Amino acid sequence: MTLVGSAQATSSSTLGDVLEIRGGRPLTGQVDVKGAKNLATKAMVASLLGETPSTLRDVPEIRDVEVVRSLLEVHGVSVSEGDEPGSLVFDTAQAKSANFEEIDAHAGSSRIPILFCGPLLHLLGQAFIPDLGGCRIGDRPIDFHLDALRNFGAVVDKEPNGIRLSAPDGLHGASIELPYPSVGATEQVLLTAVRAKGVTELRNAAIEPEIMDLIGVLQKMGAIISYEPNRVIFIEGVDELHGYDHRSLFDRNEAASWACAALATDGEIFVKGARQYEMLTFLNVFRKVGGSFDITDEGIWFRRAAKPLKPVMVETDVHPGFMTDWQQPLIVALTQAEGVSIVHETVYENRLGFTHALGQMGADIVVHPKGLDGAYRRVARRELEQAAVITGPTPLHGADIVVPDLRGGYAYVIAALAAEGTSRVSNVGIIRRGYEKFFDKLTALGADFDIVG
Ligand code: EPU
């Protein structure tokens, strides 16, 4: 077997970082999906804005939550268990500035620290944000964030290890149009505008369900935010916000991942906690590819209906389009579809690199680094677009693979479970950034694997 995977993956291993997977068995059973990584972490940052304690419920046990918890704690926020399992209470009464070393020691692997800017400026008049981590799936610049903060009146100084921000005259409402409906930049504007003086108008905002849930959190805290047609959000700044009590939106990215695992391994998985509304777009594609699903009040059953699966053309996009975080496990399933499928990645410029390892496992995937012209497109062509052309069905066989990033890593584990033979998957620790109790869930679904490193 050859060692394949992204060159960007690290080679350092800790216990639980290497799996030996014996594939070829369907995944069958139930998994529970808790709060969304991409909401819970932002709601935790929002707690900084409240003058009384906040309670967040259904907080997932993932690495990104641990990172944000540590960052809150170094800023003097006390974090304790709430009144039910999975709930956390954040008390900002003793919030304070932290020094560079403390912040840097805790921020390394995540992109969430950038969202501390507005709340820290309101609370302390200054903020230091170290160089950001997160998955290496493109350049991932922060220009939209910094431009927005400057519009609010923040002074941004770039330093060798990060950026220092101050607001000598306080922050005021602003008129901002994002060049692209960025999730993070929209959150940045929301978290800053709610306590800025005056009204903020944000145009070309992201409207993902996680953003709407964050707006819900902020409204519970006393914010005045209206969501208008055509991606416009108005925020009337208020002088004071209080704590919230909120149950996080479920993690629709995790739900979609398990749905694709059922497709790829020809299994049947009940995803408890998944809801239809936030997954409408995914469910349409799931059905077109030959999956079937049953929606209940408690969750959604996912299974393969067509044998073999059917090819599709998918373009990733901002909400309500097909999420960029859904394409990786879908591509694993598409290797088992009869015919040619095309996946256009339009959100990030480097999010198809993970497919190289699938090729080593027997998949027929050709990546066009500059996308494909010609065919009818629903999503406007973006300069950074790539396209993967997947021809199937191709049997997959075991290989030694190195996880490159969170979603790509999940896809590798599913590919190894669908493949005949044994695979060794390294660097799986990254998957803990976004998938709660990952090994326990695999075991509950009947996966045959050992932790070997
Ligand atoms: N962009 C810029 N400048 C900026 C910000 C973004 O050019 O200042 C570009 C990005 O490079 C990218 C596009 O805008 O091409 C969209 O990025 P966005 O800001 O929307 O992404 P993000 O906020 O950094 C969040 C999620 C991602 C998810 C995207 C898209 C979190 C912590 N991360 O990232 O989740 O893919 O939105 O929905 O919320 C994941 O969960 O694995 C993950 C990567």
Q: Which residues of 9-45 are buried (b: 16+ CB within 10 A; e: fewer)?
A: beeeeeeebbbbbbbbebbbbbbbbbbbbbbbbbbbb
pLDDT tens column, 421-433 = 999 999 999 998 8
**Whose C-alpha lies nearest to ligand 1, atom 22?**
184
Known active-site residue 260? no
| CATH code matching the domain that covers 5-33+250-451, chosen among 3.60.110.10, 3.65.10.10, 1.25.50.10, 3.40.50.10140 | 3.65.10.10
pLDDT at 144: 96
pLDDT above 90: residue 281: yes
pLDDT at 96: 83
Query: What's the rounded Cα separation, in Å, for the pair 286 and 320?
Result: 15
pLDDT at 314: 96
pLDDT at 14: 55
Query: What's the rounded Cα separation, in Å, for the pair 146 and 124?
Result: 18
pLDDT tens column, 245-275 = 999 999 999 999 999 999 999 999 999 999 9
For the domain made up of 37-247, give the CATH fold: UDP-n-acetylglucosamine1-carboxyvinyl-transferase; Chain (3.65.10)
Q: Which residues of 191-200 are buried (b: 16+ CB within 10 A; e: fewer)?
A: bbbbbbeeeb
pLDDT at 379: 82
pLDDT above 80: residue 108: no
pLDDT at 104: 76
Closest CA to 346 of 383, 311, 319, 389: 383
Q: Tell me, in angstroms, the distance from the centre of ligand 1 to residue 350's CA.
A: 12
To test ligand 1's pocket by mutation, which of 63, 183, 231 has the most ligand atoms within 8 angstroms of CB?
A: 183
What are the structural domain ranges in the chain? Answer: 5-33+250-451, 37-247
Q: Tell me, in angstroms, the distance from the centre of ligand 1 to residue 232's CA.
A: 19
Closest atom of ligand 1 to 138 CA is: 11
Query: What's the rounded Cα separation, in Å, for the pair 85 and 305?
Result: 37
Determine the 3-state secondary structure of 30 from DSSP.
strand
Q: Tell me, in angstroms, the distance from the centre of ligand 1 to residue 316's CA.
A: 13
Q: pLDDT higher for 92 or 134?
A: 92
To test ligand 1's pocket by mutation, which of 67, 117, 182, 385 has the most ligand atoms within 8 angstroms of CB?
A: 182
Q: Tell me, in angstroms, the distance from the centre of ligand 1 to residue 184's CA.
A: 6
Write out residues with Cβ below 6 Å of ligand 1.
Answer: 37-38, 111, 135, 138-145, 180, 182-185, 206, 253, 323-325, 347-348, 406-407, 434
**Whose C-alpha lies nearest to ligand 1, atom 17?**
182
Q: pLDDT higher for 379 or 206?
A: 206
Mean of pLDDT values over 397-426: 97
What is the average pLDDT score of the chain?
A: 92
Q: Tell me, in angstroms, the distance from the centre of ligand 1 to residue 182's CA.
A: 6
Mean of pLDDT values over 408-413: 97
pLDDT tens column, 158-196 = 888 788 999 999 999 999 999 999 999 999 999 999 999
Closest atom of ligand 1 to 111 CA is: 32
Q: Which of 299-313, 380-394, 401-415 has the lowest mean pLDDT?
A: 380-394
To test ligand 1's pocket by mutation, which of 316, 347, 352 has the most ligand atoms within 8 angstroms of CB?
A: 347
- Which among 45, 46, 135, 255 is annotated as catalytic? 135
**Same-fold call for 5-33+250-451 versus 37-247:** yes
pLDDT at 400: 97
Q: Tell me, in angstroms, the distance from the centre of ligand 1 to residue 143's CA.
A: 12
